[in-house]
Chain A
Amino acid sequence: MQFTADEITAIWLSLKVATIATLASLPLAIACAYVLARKEFWGKSIVNGLVHLPLVLPPVVTGYLLLVTFGRRGPVGSALESCCGIVFSFRWTGAALACAVMAFPLVVRAIRLAIEAIDPRLEAAAATLGARPSMVFFTVTLPLALPGILAGAIIGFAKALGEFGATITFVSNIPGETQTIATSIYSYTQAPGGDDNALRLTLVSVAIAMLALIASELLARRIMRKGADL
């Protein structure tokens, strides 16, 4: 199987975008999941709704909203560019942002379920042993939620790899900058004679997805075993 230079670039870019999107959004996802699982506050259903919005909105709408707010003339986009020199629109960073936003509800959901399954009486026990709330979180809640966090990260990574609608709306489909596996398959299917190329990339897509799933399975098993050995 021979790949063209553009295809190899698209594969690497997909992996880079999905990895960065997953890792960068994970701390925020854990924080959101913890607050939604453990805290009661005014406006909780609004926060919950906002987190889940990308799941129910058409991806093209999410992409357009990102363009309007994080584009170079958008309120957040222009502020970020002038203060820190970060540009999202039509860059690979924008593709990562779009993927992170689209995957966010799934990641939060997986982690929230894991945190809700932890017995709060264990956290109370840690507090009586002298642990401040932040230490309770890092020494009890977080380690016990680890399998769920891992599952959430894998789901997020898979979702980010497959993201299409929001990405193409927000950052377009520029080879070498924002063209991922998904958008490049789309390009091939739009041109005559592109079927072979599309099929090759499809196989790559399947292979990456399978590897991610197997890796998560192995990691989960290792965590379970480690938990048993400790």
Chain B
Amino acid sequence: MSLLIDVQNSTGAFNLEVKLACSGPVTAIFGPSGSGKTSLLNIVAGLARPASGRIEVDGRVWFDAQKRIHLAPHERAIGYVFQEGRLFPHLNVRHNLTYGAFFAKDRAPSADFDEIVDLLGIDRLLERPIRHLSGGEQQRVAIGRALLARPRLILMDEPLASLDHARRSEILPYLDRMRMRFAIPTLYVSHSMEEVERLADEVATISEGRIVQMRRLTPQS
């Protein structure tokens, strides 16, 4: 993967100035809360528009302030796992999972439905309403929903932060397996070094809106 981010934005007193070249597959954005991690992820997703700069993913330009290019979120082919799940409350688990694939018919699936359901251990939850799921189950469904949207890039915003320690260790193996099996380019935002060292291939440390360090954890393949 090649992901080139060079964006500047300021909201109020906070300045975000990020220059980042990721080779992945899993790049962690590591830093304390308030350092601009989620803002950066929203900019990459197209949910927020930076004041200036450029974002390029595998040769495709997603954002270029000078050329006035700004792809809308639905044109970027991403899978975004939010901190709070954000599953659709009016749909059951199965329909949440298939929501993104419906809009991605022009892209080849990275894995079929049954395989992902099996990998995340949610096969017995398929017909359940969302409000009958535990926090950990909801987050597994959210990960499945993002994977099944046939993404070119996965964005994860502290997917484990809203869970207690036991739930966290319940999900980590699934994230491990997902990384081994699919190797989809991923930006993984976290403030936990333990998670980062376990899941990421490289770490970009962010502080007060700037990348202060970039470090490789695994040899480049």
Contacts and interface: CB of A to CB of B under 8 A. Distances in A.
Contact of B104 (A125, A127, A130): A130
Interface residues of B, number: 31
B174 interface: no
B14 interface: no
A128 B88 contact: no
Contacts of A230: 90-92, 95, 129
A128 B79 CA distance: 7
Task: Give the secondary structure class of A's interface.
Answer: helix
Contacts of B79: 128-129
Nearest to A226: B90
A121 interface: yes
A228 B92 CA distance: 9
A130 B77 contact: yes
Given A121-B82, A228-B129, A229-B129, A128 B73 contact: yes
A125 to B, nearest CB: 4
A130 B105 CA distance: 10
A129 B149 contact: yes
B104 A140 contact: no
A140 to B, nearest CB: 6
B74 A121 contact: no
A122 B88 contact: yes
Contacts of A128: 45-47, 73-74, 76, 78-80, 155
Interface residue range, chain A: 20 to 34
A228 B130 CA distance: 9
B72 interface: yes
B155 to A, nearest CB: 8
B89 A144 contact: yes
A129 B74 CA distance: 6
A190 B129 CA distance: 58
Given A129-B149, A130-B100, A124 B90 contact: no
Given A121-B84, A122-B88, A128-B47, 15 more contacts: A121-B82, A122-B86, A125-B80, A126-B88, A128-B45, A128-B74, A128-B155, A129-B99, A131-B99, A133-B74, A139-B99, A140-B90, A144-B90, A227-B89, A228-B131
